[in-house]
Amino acid sequence: MSISVLLTRLAIAFFTLFILTRLMGRKEISQMTFFNFVSAISIGTLGASLAIDPTLSVRNGLIALAVWSAFTILMGLLDIKSRNVRKTVEGEPIIIIRNGKILENEMRKTRLDTDELNLLLRKKNVFSVGDVDYAIFETDGTLSVLKKQGKRPATKEDVHASYHAMHSSPTSSIVIQDGKVNHNNLESLQWSLEKLEEKLSANGLNALEDVFYAEVIEDGSLYVDTYNDEVH
């Protein structure tokens, strides 16, 4: 392929992608659902092939881009018109914390573990699961969080405290995660296993095996979440 042909194909691919992305709208970027993600990758791959693949003619490359973009636009229109189509293509938001209770079955559906959950919460300036009333995993992979009544927004001091807690202090320190005792955090808290069991007993739990997640929050109290998904 000569330089002039390559430059011509690059220019055609660039302006074609520019026009098609403008036609498809901002949703491809602003609300990156699984379908949007696959669509964007496919269009980018077709555009790259049009630009540099000599085995693909310009005509066929343009047809492939146009048809794929038309499918994407059509799915977007059906998505707007039909809730059933929207549910099939994008899925539905999933509640993973309800009334302060982690729903383990819903967590498994979203392929989230407790480390990822805490990461998403920290991005929302929430540094303790015990502060959360509701958390909803959205179709674009973000987490919407409703704090419990009376919980103030986090400040810079809270961020520092949370970071320090993850290393040494008792502030929002995880002591049971995914049903397993975190002995390192227990040592940092200067808690024995017996003390943890006493705290759990005070919360009406007599067996460590019943606990899915537990953390010591800022005021020294223990937030406990059991394996039972039922919320009363």
Name the phi and psi angles at 123, rounded to 5: -65, -20
What is the predicted pLDDT for the residue at 95? 92
What is the predicted pLDDT for the residue at 96? 93
User: Residue written as tokens 């964007």?
Assistant: 40
Provide mean pLDDT across the span 81-108: 83
What is the predicted pLDDT for the residue at 9? 86
Q: Provide the mean pLDDT of the chain.
A: 80
Reading the block at residue 22, the tokens are: 């403008």
Percent of the chain exceeding pLDDT 90 equals 10
What is the predicted pLDDT for the residue at 29? 53
What is the predicted pLDDT for the residue at 204? 85
Tell me the per-residue pLDDT of 141-167, one tens digit each, with 9 for 90 and over. 889 999 987 665 555 555 554 444 444
Tell me the per-residue pLDDT of 97-137, one tens digit each, with 9 for 90 and over. 988 889 988 988 888 888 899 999 999 988 888 889 999 99
Let me know: does 89 contact 75? Beta carbons within 8 Å.
yes
Percent of the chain exceeding pLDDT 70 equals 82
What is the predicted pLDDT for the residue at 163? 47
pTM for this prediction: 0.57
Tell me the per-residue pLDDT of 42-72, one tens digit each, with 9 for 90 and over. 888 988 998 888 888 989 989 998 898 888 8
Q: Give the residue, 168 or 192, on which the prediction is more confident.
A: 192
Let me know: does 39 contact 72? Beta carbons within 8 Å.
yes
Separation of alpha carbons 139 and 40, rounded Å = 16
What is the predicted pLDDT for the residue at 167? 43
Residues 17-26: contacts with CB under 8 Å, at least 24 apart: 17/43, 17/44, 17/47, 17/65, 20/65, 20/66, 20/69, 23/69, 23/73, 24/69, 24/72, 24/73, 24/76, 25/76
